[in-house]
Structure formats: structure tokens, C-alpha cells
Amino acid sequence: MILLSERKWRILAKVNAIEHEIVSQPALWRRAAALAQGLAQQLPPVGARLAVVGCGTSLYMAQAYAAAREAADVGETDAFAASEIPPGRRYDALLAISRSGMTTEVVRALNTLPGTPGTYSIVAVDGAPVSQLTRHSIVLGFADEASVVQTRFATTALVLLLASLGLETEEATGQAELALADGLPAGVEGAGSFVFLGRGWTVGLANEAALKLREAALVPAESYPALEYRHGPIALASEQTIVWPLGDVEADLVTDVREAGAAVVETGRHPLADLVLVHRVALAIALARGLDPDHPRNLTRSVVLTSQ
């Protein structure tokens, strides 16, 4: 008989907010994709030299969007942590992504780039400082979250942005529904560490997947552009390592990873659908460890700094 602690029973006995938020993603993606064309005037125009900023999960969505926008030949696009915009660099437009709309570094970035002609934001809370500091703001209130850990707001914002580029998103949505119905990949719940790999726009998704394992489940997790993994980090691969490419990677890389002793997760599905599956894995590990996945230790919904 397995005896569970009182704290673990309390966690398992309730429906976690993050579980509902994970499951709701496909429906919200369809809503966002339908809105995308009608919001064209509230997003950076074609050809604009664009900087996209965010923190944490929002930064990784910025990275994914920036790579996808350049690949779609819509305009030169850079993504930065909001605290790390290169001084003196000029852009036609700045897009800030922030769930709470209160994150200190994002607010500071908007205040320190007053010369940027076009300022845009995507937030979950109407009237938040970030939306007030930008000329155009999209409020995805329907995708807001109760959990500290971001899932659906970030992916819904990204689907909106991808759809605004004219990219098809229904395949990802349908495959995400399958990912919600699937069992979890073999071995993931007992893994000692995770490595997520991406190419192009999915490097941002890989970064986000690793963050979800770290913050929700307290599991060591790394992320790399796929071919960079062999340039040093593969030395840490072992039988306790799960390597998970988000999207297609070179077959010889997968062979090398397996020869190093690590297990590889290959679902063959859209990278966004795989990210939903990663959300489920993080939740399952958190619950198995008796953690509260809605309120991870040391984390808050929004980082608001009091020092200047």
C-alpha cells in the first residue's frame, strides 16, 4: 500500500486551475485564429522592423513569433528579454507580450523607448500599465489564468500572432486535442532530467517547454537549438535523460542521442501540440511529487520590482 501525505491528498483532491487551463487550449486557439484578421490594425504592419519583448514564458513566445515572422518574410524581427534591449538600436515598432500587463521590466522597456513610432501589446488584463503605455493593445481576457504557471495565455497569444501572419493553425489545434486524449510518453514521469530541442521558430517553444518542467514540477530541464546539443550538452545525457525534439530534427542527431543512452520522445505531431503534451507531463510529475502546480515555490503571477 502506498501512503500519501496529508498535503498530497489535499492537492490531489482538488481540481487544479492549471489542469482546466491546459485542457482549454484548443478551443481558445480557434477563437484566437478567428480574431486574427480582424485585429490586423492592432498588430505591427508588414515590413516594419520589429522588436518583440517579454519576460519568462512571454519572452519565449516572442522568440517563436520573431522567427516565424522572419521566415514568413513579413519583416526583420528581433526578440529580447524586456530587460535586455540593446541601447541605441532603432525599430519601427515594438510589441510587448505580458499576461498581467504589470511586469516591471516590460513597463520599463516601454518607458525607455519613447522614440519608437509604433507600440503594441498583447495582455490578459484590460487597463494594465503595459496596455496603457502602448498605442495599440490586444486584451485576451478570455485566455487569462488563475494559475501562476502560464499555459493557455501564452499559446493563445502565439496562435493569434501566427494566424496574423497568414499561417494555418487548425492542424496544430486538432493535434493538440489528440495530445490531450493521449497517454503520456513512456518513461517521462520517472525521468531525472529533460532536454528540449527546436529549430527555427520552435527554439522558443523548446525554451518554454523546459521552463514548464522547471517551474511546475521542479525537474531539471534544458533547451537548445537542436544541432547545438551535440556541442557540449550531450555530455550530460544518460539513461535518466529524456530528449524531446519539438518538430523535426536531423535523424543522425536522434541516433547520437540514443547512442548516448538517453530516451527520445518523437510524437510526429505539430510542435504546439507537443507543447500541450509537455504541459500535461509537468502537471503529472508535480502531482506525483505532492507539489501544488498552481503555486510553485518562489514564484508569483507577475514580477513587480520595487527598486528602481
* Count, residues in the chain: 308
Which grid cell is 90?
532603432
Residues in CB range of 83: below 8 A, 6 or more apart: 55, 105, 108, 109
From the number of C-beta atoms within 10 Å of its C-beta (0-12, 13-18, 19+), residue 218 rates as middle
Q: Please, where in the chain does CATH 3.40.50.10490 lie?
A: 18-168, 172-288
- For domain 172-288, which architecture applies? 3-Layer(aba) Sandwich (3.40)
Distance, in Å, from the CA atom of 134 to the CA atom of 124, rounded to the nearest integer, reads 14
For the full predicted model, state whether its pTM sits above 0.85: yes
Please report the pLDDT score of residue 15 as a whole number.
53
Report the pLDDT value the prediction gives residue 88, as an integer from 0 to 100: 80
pLDDT given at position 190: 93
Q: Is residue 19 classed as helix, strand or coil in its secondary structure?
A: helix
Which segments of the chain have a pLDDT < 70?
A: 1-15, 114-115, 298-308
What is 18-168's CATH number, 3.90.1170.50, 3.30.310.10, 3.40.50.10490, 3.40.50.720? Answer: 3.40.50.10490
197 beta partners: 224, 245
Residue 221 vs residues 20, 232, 278, 285: alpha-carbon distances, Å: 24, 15, 12, 13
pLDDT for res 308: 45
